[in-house]
Amino acid sequence: MTKIIDYVFSIGSPWSYIGLEPFLDLVEKTGAEIRPYFTTVLEENGGIFSRNRPEARRQYWQRDLKRWAGLRGKTLLLENRPPLADPAPAAFMVIAAYLDGKPWLELTKALQEAFWSRAVDIGNPEVRRTIASAAGFDGDALLKREGDADVQGKWKADREFALKNGVFGFPSFRYDGELYWGQDNLHFLESHLNGVKP
């Protein structure tokens, strides 16, 4: 029987970015399949935008991100970032790719790398179009799809799924009714996939 992992993440989450490739390695190793859910900070469940955290927590958050990014071989540009638009709409483009059977994970990687490693404004539609096209997608077509009913419907339904299932941070992985929050919990998910529920 196929093992299906509900993958709840945010395009604008640095933790989702640095944890994506280890997650994909785990998926390949265990033969699991990914069922993606796209959303953004879930304040109703206790999620907190980084800008709303106390300064001491923000400083620790940045140090911890750098440590994990180094461990994962990722570059993060966290200081002196220019003013950027909300990255959440980039999820619409990725949802469109997913619904159209395109390699949505590759588009996710391209958008997140641009945003977190180079501070590119993926909240800007024209920037998204350029990134998608450079990654081998039809940027024009995906940009036009962002506002379509099926794309917006999935965005809304995915948020409801996340709220209902207790998600508050990203990335979150749900398997066999159990929720694992954070890329640092992938080892617990791996144990579960291998038949040992932590």
Least confident among 17-31, 34-48, 129-143, 175-189: 34-48
Total number of residues shown for the chain: 198
CA distance 106 to 128: 13
Active site amino acids:
13
State how many domains the chain has: 1
CA distance 152 to 92: 7
- pLDDT score, position 54: 84
Alpha helices, DSSP H, located in the chain: 14-30, 55-72, 90-99, 104-118, 125-134, 139-145, 149-164, 186-193
- pLDDT score, position 6: 98
Would you say residue 52 has pLDDT above 80?
no
The confidence band for 14, taking pLDDT boundaries of 50, 70 and 90, is very high
- pLDDT score, position 94: 98
Would you say residue 142 has pLDDT above 90?
yes
Range of the domain at 32: 4-194
ω into 171 cis (within 30 of 0): yes
CATH number for the domain that contains residue 154:
3.40.30.10
One-letter amino acid identity for 194?
A: N
* Structure token digits, residue 102: 């395109």
